[in-house]
Structure 1
Amino acid sequence: MLPKPHRASIVFYVSDIVRTEAFYNDVLGLGLVRQEGAEPFWLQGTLDSGLDMVFFEMEASRGNTPALVFDLEDGGIDDIVAALAEQGVTIVTPVEEAPGGWSADFQDPDGFGLGLYQAAEKPRSRK
């Protein structure tokens, strides 16, 4: 048996690494960093929770990599979903009640499912 892992990476295979870089950095503000060693470059970032996200440009079919749900620690889900829609992001499921809070689902440029979640006690709007 292998030792229990201490970290996890979520790997996405994307059709256009430059478009992916712009989406995750400019729209979601994740601060992915270009890495060398693959052609073209690949992207890597670590969320505050310690979860690593890795992106490679290669052939893949839509949906064969996992969806990722982002926890909105400070709330504001309504404002965030509205801002995503204004930037042309496909909203799959608008804000709706979820166990213990609120959630919404959207897609990145390659159609991968992403989600947002916030606890019920957090404000849905920051305005």
Structure 2
Amino acid sequence: MAFKPKRASIVFYVSDIARTESFYNETLGLDLQRQEGAEPFWLSGALEDGLEIVFFQMEGRRGDTPALVFDVTEGGIDDIVADLAAKGVTIVTPVSEAPGGWSADFLDPDGFGLGLWQAEDKPRSLR
């Protein structure tokens, strides 16, 4: 199975989601929307060119984000992660539950964190 990303989001882990919401909406004039499925709420919005930006409040350290997260639009996240591991890719976080679906994290050859996200209504395996 050859995975070819069609969509991606930039994801930020922040220390104060309300402060982030105020800054991006009021100071920068973006239209971030509150989303449910994580505690506390999370934020998402799109720039005019269609690039989605997402913000979650969680523990982290500087350098953990932003992260580029590829959408698995057709499903099969388990297969994709297995294929990446078979090719020697370092899997940082195996397929795990995420708001609205499933996610996994891995490293590129230089150690940059990348991720996958798949909606919960898609099959985890296509094999």
**Structure 1 pair 100–86 and aligned structure 2 pair: CA distance change class (3 A):** same
Where structure 1 has 5 or more consecutive residues not aligned to the other structure, the ranges are 1-26, 31-48, 52-62
Q: How does 1:23-102 map to 2 (within 5 A)?
A: 29=4, 63=63, 66-102=66-102
Residue 67 of structure 1: how far off its partner (Å): 1.9
Where structure 2 has 5 or more consecutive residues not aligned to the other structure, the ranges are 6-48, 52-62
**Structure 1 pair 118–64 and aligned structure 2 pair: CA distance change class (3 A):** closer
Residue 66 of structure 1: how far off its partner (Å): 3.7
Q: Whole-Å Cα distance in 1 between the matches of residues 97 and 76 of structure 2?
A: 14
What TM-score do you get using the length of structure 1 for normalisation?
Answer: 0.50
Q: CA RMSD in A?
A: 2.4
Name segments (4+ residues, structure 1) moved above 6 Å.
Answer: none
Q: Whole-Å Cα distance in 2 between the matches of residues 105 and 93 of structure 1?
A: 5
What TM-score do you get using the length of structure 2 for normalisation?
Answer: 0.50
Partner of 2:125: 125
Q: Whole-Å Cα distance in 2 between the matches of residues 96 and 114 of structure 1?
A: 15
Quick check: 1:116 aligned with 2:119? no
**Structure 1 pair 29–76 and aligned structure 2 pair: CA distance change class (3 A):** closer
Q: Whole-Å Cα distance in 2 between the matches of residues 97 and 64 of structure 1?
A: 19
**Residues paired across the two proteins, number:** 72
